[in-house]
C-alpha cells in the first residue's frame, strides 16, 4: 500500500523541469516582466562582455580628452580626468551585479547588491521564522529589536554603518544586509503566522518533526513566492542605496568606477556644458532599478492571477 501511495505521489508531483517551465511561462506571460528582464539582462551581460564592448580601461586617463562630448572614440564621452564613461559604466555594473571584489586578487560571483540582499534574506528569514512559529518571548524580543532598527532613517543607518566599518565592497554588503534585515524578517513572520495554521503543518507536528524541520522544510518553501519578489525589489533598493552612498563619498573607494561617485564628481561640470559624466551613471542607476521593479511587479501580477 505504501508503495502504491509513493507511486501516486511521484506521478502527481510536478517534475523539476515542469516547475521550471511553469515559472518561465509565468514570467513571459507578463509584458511588464519581460521588459524588466530585458533591462536587467542588459546590465548583467554587458559588464561580463566589457572587454569586448570597450577598448578602454575604466581607470585609464586621457588628459587630451577631458570632459569630451560623445563621439566615435568615446561613445558616451569622458569625465574630468579623461576616463571613458562607457567603460566606467560597464565595469561599475560588474561590482553591482556580477562580481564582489574581496582584496586585490580575489572575488566572488554575484555583485555587491545581490550579496547584500542574500545575506539579509538569510538573517531576516531566520529571525522571521523563529518569531512567527515559535512565538512567545522570542517573538517579542526579535520584533522589538527590529522595530528599534527600523526607527532609524535608512540613509542615516547606512551612513552610521559605513562610517563605523569603513568604505569597501564587503562593508557595503554588510550595510545592505543589516538595513534590509528588519523588513525581510517582518515579511517572513507575517507569512509564517499564516502558514503555521495550515493542515500540513499540523500533520508535521503530529509526526514529531522538529521545529527546525517545520520552519525550514515545511514553512519556508511554501512562502518562497512573496519572498523572491520582495528580494528583487530589495536588489533595486540596494543599488539605489549604493548610488547614494557613492554620491556622499561613502561608497567604493576610488579609483573604482562607482556609479554614485561618478555622479558626484560629474555634477560640478553640468552648468559648464559637460553633463555627460553625471547624466549617464544617473540613467544607469535609474534604468537598472526600474528594470528590477518592472520584473518584480510583472511576476507578482502573474502569480496573483494563477492563484
CATH number of the domain encompassing residue 213? 1.10.3720.10
| Residue 104 falls inside a structural domain | no
pLDDT, average across residues 48-65: 90
Is the dihedral angle over the CA atoms 241, 242, 248, 251 positive or is it negative?
A: positive
Q: What is the pLDDT of residues 135-175, one digit of tens each?
A: 889 999 999 999 998 888 888 889 888 888 888 888 899 99
| Residue 30 falls inside a structural domain | no
> Which of residues 301 and 224 earns the better pLDDT score?
224
Q: How many domains does the chain have?
A: 1
| Residue 304 falls inside a structural domain | yes
What whole-number distance in Å separates Cα of residue 207 and Cα of residue 33?
Answer: 41
| Residue 132 falls inside a structural domain | yes
Backbone angles phi, psi at 107, to 5 degrees: -150, 160
What whole-number distance in Å separates Cα of residue 177 and Cα of residue 123?
Answer: 8
Query: Which pTM was predicted?
Result: 0.87
Q: Is 293 left (phi over 0), alpha (psi -120 to 50) or beta?
A: alpha
Across the chain, mean pLDDT equals 86
| Residue 168 falls inside a structural domain | yes
Residue 17 has what pLDDT? 64
Domain that holds residue 276: 114-307
Q: Please report which confidence band the pLDDT of residue 73 belongs to, taking 50, 70 and 90 as the band edges.
A: confident
Q: Please report which confidence band the pLDDT of residue 304 belongs to, taking 50, 70 and 90 as the band edges.
A: low
| Residue 13 falls inside a structural domain | no
| Residue 84 falls inside a structural domain | no
Q: Is 135 left (phi over 0), alpha (psi -120 to 50) or beta?
A: left
Is the dihedral angle over the CA atoms 92, 98, 102, 107 positive or is it negative?
A: negative
| Residue 179 falls inside a structural domain | yes
What whole-number distance in Å separates Cα of residue 284 and Cα of residue 62?
Answer: 23
Amino acid at each position: 500500500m505504501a508503495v502504491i501511495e509513493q507511486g501516486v505521489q511521484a506521478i502527481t508531483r510536478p517534475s523539476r523541469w515542469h516547475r521550471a517551465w511553469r515559472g518561465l511561462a509565468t514570467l513571459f506571460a507578463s509584458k511588464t516582466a519581460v521588459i524588466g528582464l530585458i533591462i536587467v539582462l542588459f546590465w548583467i551581460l554587458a559588464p561580463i562582455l566589457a572587454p569586448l564592448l570597450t577598448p578602454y580601461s575604466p581607470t585609464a586617463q586621457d588628459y587630451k580628452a577631458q570632459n569630451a562630448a560623445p563621439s566615435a572614440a568615446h561613445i558616451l564621452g569622458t569625465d574630468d580626468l579623461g576616463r571613458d564613461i562607457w567603460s566606467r559604466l560597464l565595469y561599475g555594473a560588474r561590482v553591482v551585479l556580477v562580481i564582489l571584489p574581496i582584496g586585490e586578487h580575489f572575488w566572488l560571483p554575484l555583485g555587491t547588491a545581490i550579496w547584500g540582499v542574500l545575506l539579509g534574506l538569510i538573517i531576516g528569514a531566520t529571525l522571521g521564522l523563529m518569531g512567527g512559529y515559535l512565538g512567545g518571548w522570542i517573538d517579542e524580543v526579535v520584533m522589538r529589536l527590529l522595530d528599534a532598527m527600523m526607527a532609524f532613517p535608512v540613509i542615516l543607518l547606512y551612513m552610521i554603518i559605513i562610517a563605523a566599518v569603513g568604505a569597501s565592497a564587503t562593508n557595503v554588503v554588510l550595510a545592505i544586509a543589516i538595513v534590509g534585515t528588519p523588513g525581510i524578517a517582518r515579511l517572513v513572520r507575517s507569512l509564517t503566522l499564516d502558514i503555521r495554521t495550515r493542515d500540513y503543518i499540523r500533520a508535521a507536528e503530529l509526526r514529531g518533526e522538529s521545529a527546525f524541520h517545520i520552519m525550514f522544510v515545511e514553512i519556508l518553501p511554501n512562502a518562497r513566492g512573496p519572498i523572491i519578489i520582495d528580494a528583487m525589489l530589495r536588489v533595486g533598493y540596494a543599488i539605489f542605496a549604493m548610488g547614494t552612498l557613492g554620491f556622499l563619498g561613502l561608497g567604493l573607494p576610488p579609483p573604482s568606477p562607482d556609479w554614485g561617485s561618478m555622479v558626484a564628481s560629474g555634477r560640478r561640470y553640468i552648468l559648464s556644458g559637460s553633463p555627460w559624466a553625471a547624466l549617464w551613471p544617473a540613467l544607469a542607476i535609474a534604468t537598472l532599478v526600474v528594470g528590477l521593479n518592472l520584473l518584480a511587479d510583472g511576476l507578482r501580477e502573474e502569480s496573483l492571477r494563477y492563484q
